[in-house]
Chain A
Amino acid sequence: MTAVRGERLLAAAIRLLPAHRRELGAALLAEASAVPPGGRRVAWLTGGLWFVVRESAVRMVGYGLGLAVAVAALVTVDRIGTSDDSGQVSLLVLLVGAAVLGFAAPRWAWLAGLVLGSAIAVSGMAYAAWGPPPTHPTNPSGVGGAATLFVLIVPALVSAYLGAGAAWLLRRAR
């Protein structure tokens, strides 16, 4: 890697950093011009890339785990619910999960809304196609019936963006 290419790469990679670390990333990049050219500067920039990977990977892994837990909880609650109110409980888990994830990572609120909002439909379609008969059949039934649950993406997106808005307001208040 040449220093020039390294600087371009680092400048692009800084965008992956969480907001509160972008200034440090920019500082590291600006400082590169003070480092003697050649191997030392390349090493400085390589350290900068490592900084970006480390700071953003922690966030991405944490967010991914949070999303996976929310999906697992939502699908489990939806599958085991047998009462008349189980649909409302699933909806509550969906809305709370989407809001929490939207609050935690406002820029990825769309992802939380899409993934959580489609989780019940996808699991329903999988069960309809390959799994045991559902405890509370949907109407219309089958894969097509489960697919209608993709409509849950709408409230999930709304909830995720409400969470993101709350995070934004909190940040402004500080």
Chain B
Amino acid sequence: MPARPDSSPQTRAVLGALHEHPAHWRYGYDISRETGLASGTLYPILGRLADRGLLETRWEDDPPEGRPRRHLYRLTAAGAERAVALRQEPASARAVPRRPAIEGA
């Protein structure tokens, strides 16, 4: 069991991906491709991070015609701090396997 709820390899991967470009709003499939996480794993993590105030979310303002509005994600200041702190902590658990995501690599 991880020492902290946000220190699982999967959560670290999500925080790491979002911290690559902290000012940019990212969308779910994009994060899934980068982390290799399936949607059923990724979205509960996004929900928990948002619950804990580490992630801010919003819906896309002007989606192109024919495509539904996307839900966008970005780290909050607290989330960015947490991502930095996690990066400095030794990864005790095994890293997320960089397998191709089943939704697309």
Option from B40, B44, B67, B102 in Cβ contact (under 8 Å) with A34: B67
Say whether B41 contacts A36, CB under 8 Å. no
From A48-56, A143-151, A153-161, the one touching the partner chain is A48-56
Instruction: State whether the Cβ of A76 lies closer than 8 Å to any Cβ in chain B.
Output: no
Say whether A36 contacts B104, CB under 8 Å. yes
Say whether A55 contacts B44, CB under 8 Å. yes
Give B105 Cβ to nearest chain A Cβ, in Å.
9
Say whether A27 contacts B103, CB under 8 Å. no
> Chain B residue with minimal CB distance to A21?
B47
> Number of residues in B with C-beta < 8 Å to the partner?
23
Say whether A33 contacts B104, CB under 8 Å. no
Option from A24, A45, A46 in Cβ contact (under 8 Å) with B46: A24
Say whether B47 contacts A34, CB under 8 Å. no
CA A46 to CA B41, docked complex, whole Å: 11
34-50 of chain A: CB within 8 A of chain B? 34-36, 40-41, 43-50
From B3-11, B68-76, B83-91, the one touching the partner chain is B68-76
> Chain B residue with minimal CB distance to A46?
B40
CA A48 to CA B74, docked complex, whole Å: 21
Which residues on B sit within 8 Å (CB–CB) of A35?
A: 29, 103-104
Q: Majority SS of interface residues in chain A?
A: helix
CA A152 to CA B67, docked complex, whole Å: 52
Which residues on B sit within 8 Å (CB–CB) of A49?
A: 40
Instruction: State whether the Cβ of B22 lies closer than 8 Å to any Cβ in chain A.
Output: no
Instruction: State whether the Cβ of B25 lies closer than 8 Å to any Cβ in chain A.
Output: no
Say whether A33 contacts B68, CB under 8 Å. yes
Give A40 Cβ to nearest chain B Cβ, in Å.
5
CA A54 to CA B38, docked complex, whole Å: 14
Give A52 Cβ to nearest chain B Cβ, in Å.
9
> Chain A residue with minimal CB distance to B68?
A30
CA A35 to CA B102, docked complex, whole Å: 11
Say whether A30 contacts B70, CB under 8 Å. yes
> Chain B residue with minimal CB distance to A34?
B29
Instruction: State whether the Cβ of A100 lies closer than 8 Å to any Cβ in chain B.
Output: no
Q: Mark A54-91, 1 if CB is under 8 A from B, else 0.
A: 11000000000000000000000000000000000000
Say whether A27 contacts B28, CB under 8 Å. yes
Say whether A54 contacts B70, CB under 8 Å. no
Q: Which 7 A-B pairs have the closest CB atoms?
A: A27-B71, A47-B39, A47-B40, A50-B40, A30-B68, A43-B102, A44-B103
Q: Which B residues fall within an 8 A CB radius of A?
A: 27-29, 32, 38-44, 46-47, 51, 57, 67-71, 102-104
Other contacts beyond A28-B28, A28-B43, A43-B39: 8, CB < 8 A = A25-B43, A28-B39, A35-B29, A35-B103, A40-B104, A43-B38, A44-B38, A51-B40
